[in-house]
Amino acid sequence: MPFKKSFFCEQLSRLASRFCLMFAISCLIPGIGLGQSSGEEKPKIILDTDMGSDCDDVGALALLHQYARMEKADILGVVYSSGKVPYGAAIVEAINVYYGKPDIPVGASHDFEFGDPVDKMLAEKLARDTAAFGHTRIHNREFTEQTDLNRRLLAEQEDNSITYVTIGHTQGLYDLLISEPDAYSALTGRELVQKKVKRWVALGALNAANEEGHLVRDWNFFFNGTSSYTAYLIQHFPKEIYLVDAGSKVLTGKGLQNTPAGNIVRTAYRDWLWNVEKKTLQDQRPSWDLAAVYFAVEGLGEFLKAAPQGNLEFDPEKGCRWVTGGNAKSQFFISEKADISQSFSEYLNALIALPPQ
């Protein structure tokens, strides 16, 4: 029975290599750094995304699912805080289905005038393809309104326990912060955040710690009408803020090449790469949002470092910059260590290539 024997050997070899990869990755995860302390429980995360505008959000959610699978993080919920392309929440649901977690709460912006107007990764096409990806909802309006979901999630959690991660616009978190008491909580948004949120991790303020002290404007904090919301948050957010400036030279995509054709993460990467840059998975692309999720779960780990103590100077019109000095310890600026782009890229590619369950 040569066929059966070789088939069995192939399966065994495949399982062994998967086990080795998982083992190698769990050994690689250093676990603790700035943002987490030794003995601290795994982070409970709300992920606030603008996927559709870009696809590294898709990789970031895939990465977060793998952390959850390894019991390194809990996913409390995901918020899609864009409305002009009202199909990102469906992609979130499809990714959750792929990873065997269809019941993770998903909220969405019901403001259809806000966000990036360009659907760069064919989000509408993917959202409508429920037959391929197994999700059930298509349009943002079919999902819980984002502030309703955020307030419910916060009200349900223990005090000082939530890591709120923005890898897109800042309007969703702003809306939460200025929200009024409701059926979920008698607290205002500010009181609720003060009580329940532990830290805000933001992919934003890219290159703000430049040596020349130039004011800079990055996509998440300044574009698509976000700068006034960001300015309010930088000034009024009542808990620690971690600004992550990492991932621009950390390329991902290759790791998805051998994942199943039904993997929506692979499909979204492939479509974005081709539509925007006429490139393929082999060519890869930057990984800003994955770097933010990495920091939210692992802290500084092997690849990141913290800038000297300071705070973010923020002008909604002119830009922002990291100003070193002062005694305030509520804001932190996180960037890449030198010469880690290749190893960070391999690390992230290996994680997002892992099977869903």
Interface with Ca ion (CB under 5 A): 50, 54, 57, 167-168, 289
332 phi and psi angles, rounded to 5 deg = -135, 145
The nearest distance, CB 169 to Ca ion, in angstroms, is 8
Beta carbon of residue 140, minimum distance to Ca ion (angstroms, whole number):
16
Distance, in Å, from the CA atom of 325 to the CA atom of 309, rounded to the nearest integer, reads 6
Closer by beta carbon to Ca ion, 192 or else 295: 295
Angle between helices 341-352 and 56-69 (to 10 degrees): 70
Question: Nearer Cβ to Ca ion, position 167 or 176?
Answer: 167
CB of 85 to Ca ion, least distance (A): 12
Least separation, in Å, of the C-beta of 167 and Ca ion?
4
Give the C-alpha separation, 234 to 26, whole Å.
Answer: 35
State how far the Cα of 40 lies from the Cα of 100, in Å rounded to an integer. Answer: 27
| Residue 168 or 286 having the CB closest to Ca ion | 168
Phi, psi of 319 (to 5 degrees): 130, -170
Q: Which residues contact 2 (CB under 8 A, 6 or more apart)?
A: none
Q: How far is the CB of 275 from Ca ion (least distance, A)?
A: 16
State the Cα angle at 123 between 243 and 77, rounded to 5°. Answer: 50
Closest CA to 48 of 98, 2, 138, 108: 108
CB nearer to Ca ion: give 35 or 52: 52
- Does the CA dihedral 233-304-296-245 come out positive or negative? positive
Nearer to Ca ion among residue 74 and residue 116 (C-beta)? 116
Chain centre distance of CA 322: 22
Least distance from Ca ion to the Cβ atom of residue 292, Å: 9
CB of 124 or CB of 218, closer to Ca ion: 218
Question: With respect to Ca ion, which residue has the nearer C-beta, 167 or 241?
Answer: 167
Contact between 310 and 322 (Cβ < 8 Å)? yes
Rg (CA), the chain: 20
CA-CA-CA-CA torsion sign (277, 168, 229, 117) = positive
- Residue with the two structure tokens 């399966």: 11
Residue type, 113: E
Give the nearer residue to Ca ion in terms of CB position, either 95 or 192: 95
Residue 186 CB-density burial (10 A; 0-12 exposed, 13-18 middle, 19+ buried): exposed
**CB of residue 332 vs Ca ion: minimum separation in angstroms?**
20
- Least separation in angstroms between residue 91's CB and Ca ion is 12
